Amino acid sequence: MPVPATIEVCEKYLFADINEMTADGIPELIQQRLIRLRDMYNFWLQFPRKKDLEIVSELERRYNVSKSTAYEDIRIIKRLLGDLAKTTKDYHRYKFCQMIDETFEMARRTKDSRAMGAAANYYGKYTQLDKEDILDKGYDKIVVQPFEPTDDPTVLGIKPIPNVREKIKTKIQQYWSDDIEDVSFEEVEFNEEDIFKIKPQGNEAVL
């Protein structure tokens, strides 16, 4: 299966149960791979500092897959999880929600309703449950209109002039002469203050 198609399947079914996958017609071989990817996805979330080689070894040990298959799995997991070498935000989001769950459970066991409410409030704010979901307006699906340069005026609804190039050539020959020569110009000197000087007139000042 090509990687883009695999990514799309993983995004939809990574955390789905077997019955859902089967009902949607996902082949058993792909189901097994999804379970393997899910396992290693969660494993990498728990140990975000592990290097690629360590994850490869873990895949080989757990699932007895080839090294090339293990590296292909890692490439897919990174697409889903984010590059752990650059950022661990996904991991911290996961850990934050986990800590909130643990705090809520501890408060429930001790019957601390105030702490339970605080934990639920933090969880709601973090997951932005109080806000409407952002609607996908589909701007990424807008196809850029192809434009091609043309000298055909009919594309603008303008009636073309017959033999326009020949007429242009004729006009150039008609008005062009070898007698035409460049002329120099003389700069005119004037005093701006004399021209634009404000002259008082009575109680008013006029130009």
Reported confidence tier of residue 173, pLDDT bands at 50, 70, 90:
confident
Pairwise pLDDT comparison (170 vs 204), residue with the higher score: 170
Q: How confident is the model at residue 150 (pLDDT cuts 50, 70, 90)?
A: confident
Query: Same structural domain for residues 75 and 17?
Result: yes
Is the pTM value of this prediction over 0.75? no
- Are residue 10 and residue 62 in the same domain, yes or no? yes
- At 201, give phi and psi (nearest 5°): -140, 105
Q: What percent of the chain has pLDDT over 90?
A: 14
Banded pLDDT at 148 (limits 50, 70, 90) = confident
Residues 58 and 101 in one domain: no
Residues sharing a CB contact under 8 Å with residue 38, sequence separation 6 or more, in sequence order: 14, 15
| 82-123 pLDDT tens trace | 654 455 566 677 778 888 888 889 988 998 888 888 888 888
Residue 148 lies in a domain: no
User: Could you tell me which residues are beta bridge partners of residue 205?
Assistant: 200
Whether residue 96 is contained in a domain is answered as yes
Domain co-membership, 73 together with 18: yes
- Are 24 and 58 members of one domain? yes
Distance CA 8, CA 203 (A): 85
Task: Determine the pLDDT at residue 207.
Answer: 44
The last residue of one of the domains, among 86, 113, 135, is 86
Q: Are residues 65 and 99 in the same domain?
A: no
Establish if 162 belongs to a structural domain.
no
My answer on whether 30 and 82 are in the same domain is yes
Q: Single out the residue in 86, 116, 134 at which a domain terminates.
A: 86
Assess if residue 79 is contained within a domain. Answer: yes
What's the pLDDT score for residue 200? Answer: 58
pLDDT in tens, 132-145: 766 666 777 777 77
26, 34 contact by CB (below 8 A): yes
Both 15 and 62 in one domain: the answer is: yes
Question: Is residue 163, in this structure, part of any structural domain at all?
Answer: no
Separation CA 106–CA 68 (nearest Å) = 44
Residue 54 CA to residue 60 CA, distance in Å, equals 10
Residues 53 and 69 in one domain: yes
Planar angle of CA 51, 7, 86, nearest 5 degrees: 35
Q: Which residue range(s) make up the domain with 102?
A: 91-126
pLDDT at 3 > cutoff 70: no
Confirm whether 106 is domain-assigned. yes
Domain shared by 65 and 96, yes or no: no
Statement to judge: residues 29 and 47 lie in one domain = yes
The pLDDT, as a whole number, for residue 1 is 44
pLDDT band at 206 (very low <50, low <70, confident <90, very high): very low
Q: How many CB atoms lie within 10 A of CB 118?
A: 15
Residues 6+ apart with CB under 8 A from 11: 80
| Total of domains in the chain | 2
**Alpha-carbon distance 59 to 65, whole Å?**
7
Q: How far apart are CA 155 and CA 98, in angstroms?
A: 62
Amino acid at position 11, single letter: E
Whether residue 70 sits in one domain with residue 29: yes
Query: Can you give the pLDDT at residue 51?
Result: 86
Q: Is residue 202 part of a domain?
A: no
Among residues 54, 86, 118, the one where a domain terminates is 86
Question: Percentage of residues in the chain with pLDDT exceeding 70?
Answer: 78
- pLDDT value at residue 15: 86
| Structure confidence by residue, pLDDT tens digits, 28-84 | 989 999 999 999 988 988 887 788 899 999 999 999 999 989 999 988 888 887 654
